[in-house]
């Protein structure tokens, strides 16, 4: 669904964050595992069209088989992308329901009835229905992350990128969150970027390991971890 070829990125300070990165990312959950500084966020930001690569290409397959040039057709990518960044902020004084409704308007969901259905459906899907009226500032880390998923799912993305989502979650919230990602992964491509081995081995059928800007290996978690 997503083909990444020979991506390169060197920052102004001389750090080679991406070094000839080539990956094929299928539908479902894909784990991107690597230590801090490996280049995961640089890759995720590049795919989310938030920063430029120096070289290489990436193409995304749309719902009707159309091929989208990720590095050039930024608007087309953004319409098909859900991105949950590493440290995403929330407006503490707004309720989850109002915030999601606001984002739905920004996404072009103009029709009130349709918007209501989408927002309600997402709040239920991420299990925040009962607390939808509460202000986001009162949410726990796990609730916040699940709100982030609802936000990322607005507009029916083909690709969802989740960057280091389980940091700071307690075990129960972590499980709940990872199960939610697995559910989403049944319909779309989900890239789960993390430095936690178990996040990947627990639920990603395929994975890649990155270090120092390079992809070390890709495959099934059992094979990949054994090869290390
Ligand atoms: P560039 O212009 O090099 O492509 P950005 O515009 O994303 O990169 O970042 C601007 C500057 O912010 C960088 O040159 C760097 O000095 C600093 N910076 C931001 N994040 C980091 C980081 N994680 N490590 C080191 N420097 C950083
Ligand atoms: P990860 O997400 O795996 O921790 P990053 O992509 O954040 O890795 O970082 C890869 C390398 O690039 C690190 O050495 C980091 O300090 C550096 N880096 C990240 N962002 C910037 C930036 N904007 N400017 C300069 N260096 C950066």
How many angstroms separate the CA atoms of 21 and 125, rounded? 34
Instruction: Give the Cα-Cα-Cα angle 201, 88, 172 (nearest 5 degrees).
Output: 45
Dihedral of CA atoms 44, 48, 51, 52 in degrees, nearest 10, equals 100
- Model confidence over 48-76: pLDDT tens digits? 999 999 999 999 999 899 999 999 999 99
Nearest-atom number in ligand 1 for the CA of 41 is 23
- 17 close to ligand 2 (CB < 6 Angstrom): yes
pLDDT at site 133:
98
Q: Could you tell me the distance, in angstroms and rounded to a whole number, from the CA of residue 111 to the centre of ligand 2?
A: 41
Whole-complex ipTM: 0.73
Q: Percent of the chain at pLDDT above 90?
A: 83
Give me ligand 1 centre to Cα 175, in Å. Answer: 33
pLDDT (0 to 100) of residue 90: 85
Please name which ligand lies nearest the alpha carbon of 16: 2
Query: Tell me, what's the pLDDT at 224?
Result: 79
How do residues 78-116 score in pLDDT, each as one tens digit? Answer: 999 999 988 778 899 999 999 999 999 998 899 999 999
- Our measurement of the distance from residue 65's CA atom to the centroid of its chain's CA atoms, rounded to an integer in Å, reads 21
- pTM (two decimals): 0.86
């Amino acid at each position: 669904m997503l083909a990444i070829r020979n991506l390169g990125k060197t920052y102004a300070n001389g750090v080679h964050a991406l070094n000839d990165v080539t990956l094929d990312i299928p539908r479902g959950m894909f784990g991107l595992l690597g230590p801090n500084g490996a280049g995961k966020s640089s890759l995720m930001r590049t795919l989310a069209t938030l920063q430029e690569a120096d070289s290489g290409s990436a193409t995304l397959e749309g719902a009707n088989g159309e091929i989208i040039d990720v590095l050039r057709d930024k608007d087309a990518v953004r319409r098909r992308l859900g991105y949950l960044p590493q440290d995403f902020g929330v407006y503490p004084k707004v309720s989850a329901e109002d915030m999601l409704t606001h984002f739905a308007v920004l996404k072009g969901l103009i029709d009130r009835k349709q918007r209501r259905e989408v927002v309600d459906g997402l709040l239920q899907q991420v299990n925040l229905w009962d607390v939808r009226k509460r202000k986001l500032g009162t949410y726990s880390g796990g609730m916040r992350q699940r709100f982030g998923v609802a936000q990322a799912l607005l507009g029916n993305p083909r690709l969802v990128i989740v960057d280091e989502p389980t940091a700071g979650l307690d075990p129960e919230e972590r499980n709940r969150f990872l199960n939610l990602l697995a559910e989403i992964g049944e319909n779309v491509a989900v890239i789960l970027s993390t430095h936690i081995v178990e996040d990947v081995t627990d639920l990603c059928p395929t994975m890649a390991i990155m270090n120092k800007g390079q992809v070390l290996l890709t495959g099934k978690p059992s094979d990949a971890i054994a090869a290390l």
